[in-house]
Amino acid sequence: MAHVTSRPAEAQHLRDLALLRRVRDRIDRDYAQPLDVEALARGVNMSAGHLSREFRRAYGEAPYGYLMTRRIERAMTLLRRGDMSVTEVCFAVGCSSLGSFSTRFTELVGVPPSVYRQRAASATAGMPSCVAKQVTRPIRNRETALT
């Protein structure tokens, strides 16, 4: 007996994946802009709930979590450069609350932004920026960064 697949369901799944890639690409490109799940969902004609469920299924985290990871990753780069204050970095990456930014940064990186800046300066000295970015990339639940 042959295995029967649901071609309409497969086709819908592939369409959803293409839309999810568009959402992820928009987050990657526009991370510093005010983005919320409702707006992202409207952009691909999905409900916010459906987008959140399918995005998590495809990428392992909710759209907002992915957005915050991108923002923190960019913040890490700006903090390593050392020419902006933590507050300036917070706003430059699209966060509107220094407290929320610091909390999420600490959650993802393992140390507060100010401590990260101090440690990163010595830990990545002499490293090409492309290597420093890979070595210091935020990983959810990392025990400690740059220790």
Q: Contact at 8 Å (CB) between 37 and 66?
A: no
Q: Contact at 8 Å (CB) between 108 and 138?
A: yes
Q: What is the pLDDT of residue 60?
A: 93
Q: What is the pLDDT of residue 142?
A: 45
Q: What is the pLDDT of residue 31?
A: 95
Q: What is the pLDDT of residue 108?
A: 93
Given the structure tokens 């002499």, which residue do they identify? 126
Tokens, residue 87: 């507050």
What residues contact residue 24 under an 8 Å CB cut-off, 6+ apart? 55, 59, 66
Taken in order 113, 118, 120, 123, the sign of the CA dihedral is negative
User: With a cut of 50, which residues of the chain have pLDDT below it?
Assistant: 141-147
